[in-house]
């Protein structure tokens, strides 16, 4: 296992800066996901780590050793591409073992590694087939096997599941995560799918326009988004947002709805955020009433759509609710679960109780 350090890493194409001053350490044996919208720079960053793109400025270190000038073959890593990059004229076995001869392995050693990787990934029966005779999931397993046989301690993956159907993606997510744990790989996984990042990664780096928005554990980004971009990107459905103005009675949206978040600030304007699953059916205490615009009953849950301050909000209620469009429902949101963001979109942290306030509780 090896660690990777990115120190003020930057990349420019001419005058266009696509990666801006990235600082992060990826620990040995960690599953680290790079996530963000298309064009945010995540694949470029992966290629810089692999040595397929030059580094404009900053330092890349692998286990503490500067790697800016290293050739890709000297970095001791493997890479799985989005399009699998399999040779169509070669069998599965030859695709898996391709390139192993450069490591000085005998044909027997190459075959032993190949069979072991194929058994691990459940493709032993396809060794004599060509890629065109395989399904998308089987081709993905061949690409993974080719990465495994190198026994490189670092594995880079560039959106490897984007070409698969939803059911197969879910299965492959689990298989890749189990494989990473079993082999103890340091894995850097690029995806635009925040569900993949949330379910697979030990830590996530969320990028937007070449800049880091937040780095942390998946639940940190979900529960405490650093800004409105993180809040609107992470979560399915994403966090509901609305602009609010400070009033004596609380924070008011444009339609007059009042909210009472636990975060405190001297600012007169802010953006309030609430996760769809944090909006619950009101029992006794009501935060607001919602006139339903749309209802989606999905079996295990019901998605409700309604307007708040000119924005469409969604609520996610567990179970099956026999509601109708136009019906008004009472909703409750715990003030501690409301997020507040300042005018620049940065998160405002809830006020921490002072020491003397905490001591009064015990008097």
The CATH number linked to 36 is 3.40.50.300
The two tokens of residue 218 are 């998946």
- Distance between CA atoms of 273 and 279, rounded to whole angstroms? 11
- Distance between CA atoms of 338 and 340, rounded to whole angstroms? 7
Would residue 93 count as lying in a domain? yes
- Distance between CA atoms of 156 and 154, rounded to whole angstroms? 7
- Edge-to-edge strand ranges of the sheet holding 301-308: 294-297, 301-308, 311-318
Would residue 68 count as lying in a domain? yes
Whether residue 126 sits in one domain with residue 168:
yes
Whether residue 349 sits in one domain with residue 254:
yes
The two tokens of residue 302 are 């019901």
Closest Cα to residue 22, out of 58, 51, 70? 58
Last residue of a domain, one of 175, 201, 223: 223
Whether residue 161 sits in one domain with residue 51:
yes
Whether residue 213 sits in one domain with residue 102:
yes
Whether residue 305 sits in one domain with residue 156:
no
The tens-digit pLDDT sequence of the chain (363 residues) is 799 999 999 999 998 999 999 999 999 999 999 999 989 999 999 999 999 999 999 999 999 999 999 999 899 999 988 888 899 999 999 999 988 877 888 889 999 989 988 988 889 999 999 999 998 888 988 988 898 888 899 999 999 888 778 888 888 888 889 989 988 999 999 998 888 999 999 999 999 999 999 999 999 999 999 999 999 999 989 999 999 999 988 999 999 999 999 887 889 999 999 999 999 999 889 999 999 999 999 999 999 999 999 999 999 999 999 999 999 999 999 999 999 999 999 999 876 555 444 444 444
Whether residue 183 sits in one domain with residue 69:
yes
Would residue 232 count as lying in a domain? no
Distances (CA, A) of 22 to 56, 60, 240, 265: 12, 10, 29, 30
The two tokens of residue 315 are 């609520």
pTM of the model: 0.88
Question: Tell me, what's the pLDDT at 165?
Answer: 83
The whole domain housing 120 covers 4-223
Would residue 362 count as lying in a domain? no
Question: Tell me, what's the pLDDT at 170?
Answer: 87
- Distance between CA atoms of 330 and 277, rounded to whole angstroms? 15
Neighbouring-strand partners of residue 158: 190
The two tokens of residue 349 are 């942290």
- Distance between CA atoms of 228 and 226, rounded to whole angstroms? 7
Whether residue 251 sits in one domain with residue 207:
no
Would residue 206 count as lying in a domain? yes
Last residue of a domain, one of 223, 251, 280: 223
Whether residue 23 sits in one domain with residue 140:
yes
* Count of structural domains, the chain: 2
Please answer whether residues 171 and 140 qualify as being in contact, where contact means their C-beta atoms are separated by less than 8 angstroms: no
Whether residue 292 sits in one domain with residue 219:
no
Whether residue 307 sits in one domain with residue 266:
yes
Please answer whether residues 125 and 119 qualify as being in contact, where contact means their C-beta atoms are separated by less than 8 angstroms: no
Question: Tell me, what's the pLDDT at 351?
Answer: 61
Would residue 182 count as lying in a domain? yes
Would residue 231 count as lying in a domain? no
Whether residue 190 sits in one domain with residue 148:
yes
Last residue of a domain, one of 200, 223, 246: 223
Would residue 346 count as lying in a domain? yes
Place of tokens 């990934």: 121
Q: Evaluate the omega torsion of the peptide bond into residue 237 and state whether it is cis, within 30 degrees of 0.
A: yes
Question: Tell me, what's the pLDDT at 56?
Answer: 96
b vs e for 166-205, b when ≥16 Cβ sit within 10 Å of the residue's Cβ?
eeebeebbebbbebbeebebbbbbbbbbbbbbbebbbbbb
CATH of residue 349: 2.40.50.140
Whether residue 110 sits in one domain with residue 60:
yes
């Amino acid at each position: 296992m090896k660690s990777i350090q990115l120190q003020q890493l930057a990349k420019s194409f001419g005058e266009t800066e696509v990666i801006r001053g990235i600082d992060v350490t990826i620990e040995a044996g960690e599953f680290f996901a790079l996530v963000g919208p298309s064009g945010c720079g995540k694949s470029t960053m992966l290629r810089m780590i692999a040595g397929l793109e030059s580094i404009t400025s900053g330092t890349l270190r692998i286990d503490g050793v500067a790697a800016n000038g290293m050739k890709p073959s000297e970095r001791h890593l493997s890479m799985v591409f989005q399009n699998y990059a399999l040779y169509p004229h070669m069998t599965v076995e030859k695709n898996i073992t391709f390139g192993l001869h450069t490591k000085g392995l005998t044909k027997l050693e190459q075959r032993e590694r190949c069979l072991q990787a194929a058994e691990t990934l459940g493709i032993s029966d396809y060794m004599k087939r060509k890629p065109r005779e395989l399904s998308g999931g089987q081709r993905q397993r061949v690409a993974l096997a080719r990465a495994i046989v190198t026994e490189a301690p670092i594995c880079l993956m560039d959106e490897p599941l984007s070409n698969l159907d939803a059911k197969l993606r879910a299965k492959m997510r689990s298989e890749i995560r189990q494989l990473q744990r079993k082999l103890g790989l340091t894995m850097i996984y690029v995806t635009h799918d925040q569900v993949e990042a949330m379910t697979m990664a030990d830590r996530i780096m969320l990028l937007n326009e070449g800049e880091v928005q937040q780095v942390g554990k998946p639940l940190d980004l979900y529960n405490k988004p650093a800004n409105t971009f993180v809040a609107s990107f992470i979560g399915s459905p994403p966090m509901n947002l609305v602009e609010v103005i400070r009033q004596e009675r609380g924070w008011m949206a444009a339609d007059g709805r009042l909210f009472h978040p636990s975060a405190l600030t001297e600012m007169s304007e802010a953006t309030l955020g609430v996760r769809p699953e944090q909006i619950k059916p009101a029992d006794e205490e009501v935060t607001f009433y919602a006139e339903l615009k749309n209802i989606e009953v999905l079996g295990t849950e019901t998605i409700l759509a309604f307007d708040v301050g000119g924005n469409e909000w969604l609520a996610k209620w567990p179970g099956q609710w026999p509601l109708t469009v136009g019906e008004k429902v009472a909703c409750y949101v715990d003030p501690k679960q409301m997020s507040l963001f300042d005018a620049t979109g940065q998160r405002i942290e809830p006020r921490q109780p002072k020491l003397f306030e905490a001591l009064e509780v015990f008097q």
